[in-house]
Amino acid sequence: AQRVTQPEKLLSVFKGAPVELKCNYSYSGSPELFWYVQYSRQRLQLLLRHISRESIKGFTADLNKGETSFHLKKPFAQEEDSAMYYCALSRWNTDKLIFGTGTRLQVFP
């Protein structure tokens, strides 16, 4: 069965500290992995997807098929990074997304 696990409900760091939001998945085929973000009073929106292999707002995520992980990382957190982050997967070339339970990131000044 498809499943996405985000073990941390809340992650608190100080500005300038490194950040890693964990995401593990279970899926037997070739999944597409995504990170979505919801800033305060804004809509849920795509942050990045693994096939793009790009850095968005300083965040990167590498798909590790051996560990079935897709952790989101940023070397130096900013206060404006405070938001709810969701990891999600879909079967290759389909639109239906399975989301994790989300991790709230708090960045203190």
Partner 1 sequence: SQTIHQWPATLVQPVGSPLSLECTVEGTSNPNLYWYRQAAGRGLQLLFYSVGIGQISSEVPQNLSASRPQDRQFILSSKKLLLSDSGFYLCAWSVRGRGEDEKLFFGSGTQLSVL
User: From the list 6, 19, 37, 77, which residue makes contact with partner 1 (rule: CB under 8 A)?
Assistant: 6
Site string for partner 1, 45-64 (x = CB under 8 A): xx--x-xx------------
Q: Count the helix, strand and coil residues of the chain and give each as a percent rounded to the nearest 5.
A: 5, 50, 45
Query: Near partner 1 by CB under 8 A, which window of 12-20, 37-45, 58-66, 71-79?
Result: 37-45
Which C-beta is closer to partner 1: that of 48 or that of 77? 48
Identify which of 12, 16, 61 has the alpha carbon closest to the alpha carbon of residue 35. 61
Q: Contact 11/18 with Cβ under 8 angstroms?
A: no
